[in-house]
Amino acid sequence: MTKAMRSPGEAQHEYREIRGFASFDDPEALSYVDSNGNPNFELIRQTDEFRTLRRRLTSFIFPMTALFLSSYLTFVLLSAYAKDFVSTKVIGVINLGILLGLGQFVTSIIITLGYSRYAKRRLDPQRKLLAEKTGVEE
């Protein structure tokens, strides 16, 4: 338990010297995991599987973040600086501002569901591929 309590950084220093030594049993699998069972993360990072995963992840989350932040800030800025516009009545006394605010709720749900769908279809299978190739489990 004491070992587990150490910071992640401190337990890692051994594998560097051992990297590159192949064992007799299964040299193919061992290229990603050294003889102590420590994964060689630098090698894993350079695999095509990992690059694809990273590209798929970042190409979803960063544009999506830009999208929801700008939509939220548009709502905030309209409420602060375009009072007359957001005060336009739409349904009964419910005005455009309230609807835009509720629209933020809707987009939040859509993005949330969209991301979990995307993660299930495009990210998780790719993670599985990477785990199978490198022999490193979660």
Partner 1 sequence: MPTTGNPVLNLSVFAVFVLITLYIVYRVSSRNVTASDYYAAGSSFTGAQNGVALSGDFLSAASFLGISGGIAAHGYDGFLYSVGWVVAWLVGLLLIAEGLRNTGRFTVGDVLAFRMKQRPVRAAAANATLVISFFYMIAQMAGAGGLIALLLNVSSKWGQALLIAVVGMVMVLYVLVGGMKGTTWVQIIKAVLLLLCVTLMSVFLLGKFGFSLSAIMQQATENNKLGEAVLDPGAKYGFSAMSKLDFVSLALSLVLGIASLPHVLMRFYTVPNASEARRSVVWATWTMVIFYLCTLVIGFGAMALVGTDTIAAAPGGENSAAPLLAFRIGGAVLLGIVSAVAFATILAVVAGLTLAASASFAHDVYANVIKRGNVEPRREIRVARLTAVVVGVLSILGGIAANGQNVAFLVSLALALAASANLSTILYTIFWRRFNTTGTLWSIYGGLGSCLLLIVFSPVMSGAKTSIFPDLDFAWFPLGNPGLVSIPFSFLCGFLATVLSKPEADKADLAAEMEVRAISGIGART
Contacts with partner 1, residue ranges (CB under 8 A)? 1-2, 5-10, 12, 16, 38-39, 41-42, 44-45, 50, 53-54, 57-58, 60-61, 64-65, 68-69, 72-73, 75-77, 79-81, 83, 86-87, 91-95, 97-98, 101-102, 104-105, 108-109, 111-113, 115-116, 119, 124, 127, 130-131, 134, 136-138
Q: Which residue lies nearer to partner 1 by CB, 1 or 25?
A: 1
Q: Which residue lies nearer to partner 1 by CB, 24 or 135?
A: 135
| Minimal distance, residue 83 CB to partner 1, in Å | 5
Separation between Cα atoms, residue 116 and residue 118, nearest integer Å: 5
21 neighbors 34 (Cβ within 8 angstroms)? yes
Separation between Cα atoms, residue 57 and residue 38, nearest integer Å: 25
**The pairing of beta strand 89-91 with beta strand 94-95:** antiparallel
Q: Which residue lies nearer to partner 1 by CB, 35 or 65?
A: 65
CA distances from 10 to 38, 72, 74, 105, 115 (A): 13, 42, 46, 44, 35
